[in-house]
Structure formats: C-alpha cells, structure tokens
Amino acid sequence: MVAGNPRTIAEKRFVIAAPQRRVWDLMAEVIFQQLPVEQVDVLSLTSFKAVLGWRIAGIRLSLGVMGELVDVSPPARIGCVISVRKGPAQVSTRATMELRAIEESSTEVTCAAAQEGKRTLVAWALKRFQRDFALTTFDSIEMRLRGLCI
C-alpha cells in the first residue's frame, strides 16, 4: 500500500454494502469506466496504452498514457502504475485499491495514490493536478460501486 509513503498524494477510504468478492469482480470494469481515456490499446493482460483527455488550468490536453498492473492479489488488492507523457516530460503515479471484508455483506475499500519515479521539476509542478485527478477518480469509483451494489 502506498499509504504512509512520503510520496503519497491522495487517499480515500469507504465502505460498500456488498461482499468482497462482488466488489472485486466489479473493480477492473469500474476503474476503466472512470478514466477519461480515448484510443485504448490493450498490449497484454497486464498493460495498456491510451490517450488521456486532461484539463489543466482550463486547457484541454491529450496526453499519452501507459498503464501496467503491478500488484494483483484477488480478491484483496489491485495496484497499477499509470505513466503520463507529453513530449519529453513523464509523470508516473502508483495507485492501489485494497478491499477488506468487514462483515459478510460489506467491504472496506482503501484507495491510495503516490508519485512514482524520479523527482523532477515537472513531477513537482504537476503534483497538485495528480492529487486532484486521483481524488476525483477515487470519488467516481466509489459512486459507481455504490450504484452497482445496490
């Protein structure tokens, strides 16, 4: 988990009224539905590339994205590294979602995101945008899971 990591930029914890296995079965689909990606190319069972439509300071940018699943432990944990590139600049984020059964019919979901890779001026400048993007994505994942697990 990236929680407690000094490079952690976002964390969110919530409870879904559904068994852990049900939440796990929905997680990959829900994650991909919440990312504003276009032109997705699946490269393997664990990696993809895409174009991310991202708005920074009112300007819409199309950014190249590489994603790789790096830690998958069903039904408890899914982790991925998302790298965004624009020209020579690259920023990477490690996102982790942990699922813990707290009752037979409820699951606690803990989402965390941390900056990954070299500490560059670009990474420092984009940290706030990474955090906002991660928190918005975590909020969307929570809302979608709640809607599917009614």
Selecting from 1.10.150.20, 3.30.530.20, 3.20.20.10, 1.10.20.60, what CATH number does the domain 8-148 have? 3.30.530.20
Backbone angles phi, psi at 121, to 5 degrees: -60, -40
Task: Tell me how far CA of residue 123 lies from CA of 60, 75, 116, 131, in angstroms.
Answer: 19, 32, 9, 11
The number of residues in the chain equals 150
pLDDT in tens, 49-61: 988 877 777 888 7
Query: Could you tell me which residues come within 8 angstroms of residue 56 by beta carbon, excluding any fewer than 6 positions away?
Result: 129
pLDDT at 144 over 50: yes
pLDDT in tens, 4-19: 577 899 999 999 999 9
